[in-house]
Amino acid sequence: MIQGALRLFLMIVLVGCVLLPHALVAGDAESVAPSLEELLLNGAVKGKVKRLWGGNDVKFVIRIEDGSKQGLKVIFRPEHLVDEWKHRKEISAYRLARLSGIDNVPVTVSRALPQKFFKNAGEKTLARLVFREGMLEGAVQVFVNGAHDPLGEEGYAWARDHLAALSEPAQPITMDLGEARQFSRLLVFDFLQSNPDRFSGGNLLQTDDGSYWFIDNADAYFGCTRPKRRVQQLSHFDRTQVAALRQLTKSGLEGELRALLGPKQVGRIWKRLQVVLQRVDGLIAEHGEDNVLF
């Protein structure tokens, strides 16, 4: 009996010697390594700032020191003279996605960069931007590497087909569940931020692992009815997203978004959130939870 107890003790010690160093390494890494948000907020800019061409707005590509040879690639959307809200909308989109329980929007933070970084941008470009005391405020967003536009010029047809597959109450979902879940998330997310400009091309990216990324959210909050019509047709909702929306409070929403969007827009988001939950609850009452949430 003593020998058996001794063997058990030695086994415990041996397992502890194997596992403990790994646990310490993981703990040390978590305590030392900055979060991605912190890196975007405080990381040193590496190399030259380059203009990102394409689209109507001025955007730049920046590299941030992250310990790698090339640095972390990010997009910087600066404050514009014509529309001072666009960079704030990008930041609020990221925060709203997190509040909604989804991670399809790349990490985005607010940051001001020195004017000297943009000295080679050209007079016409600089004339469109807002510099304050030698600094340019904007949204810094992680660049989605290896992503492509899966829609091209067929975005609206693609959206109609996907919506049709998720519009039949209590009917089994025939499309890939991972894609269906992300598409359902997207429709709810775009309705919450009243974003009509999703399927025009370039605003939805996909990586090789099947993940969709909801980018270019700066043209939201215009009160378009199209996103609402889509949600009113949608009959299958992502369970995780709905649970997060149920837990969200108006004060929590205001705490995250009021400084970016103002109280009126936050109030409208809250009202749209209630519309989503009313739609979900009505479908559940009629068809059962398992036929609505997936």
User: Which pLDDT score is estimated for 229?
Assistant: 96
- CA dist 40 → 75, 194, 216, 290 (Å): 10, 27, 18, 40
Residue type, 114: P
Please tell me the pTM assigned to this model: 0.86
User: Which pLDDT score is estimated for 30?
Assistant: 33
User: Which pLDDT score is estimated for 153?
Assistant: 82
Helix 263-287 / helix 239-247 crossing angle, nearest 10 deg: 130
Q: Please state the domain extents for the chain.
A: 36-142, 152-291
User: Which pLDDT score is estimated for 34?
Assistant: 60
Are the CB atoms for 58 and 219 separated by under 8 Å? no
Q: Give pLDDT tens digits along the chain (294 positions).
A: 434 443 433 333 333 333 332 222 223 223 345 699 999 999 999 999 999 998 789 999 999 999 999 999 999 999 999 888 999 999 999 999 999 999 999 999 999 999 999 999 999 999 999 999 999 999 999 999 999 999 878 999 999 999 999 999 989 999 999 999 999 999 999 999 999 999 988 899 999 999 999 999 999 998 789 999 999 999 999 999 999 999 999 999 999 999 999 999 999 999 999 999 999 999 999 999 999 999
Residue 131: beta bridge partners?
136
User: Which pLDDT score is estimated for 11?
Assistant: 37
- Sign for the CA dihedral angle at 151, 155, 161, 167 comes to positive
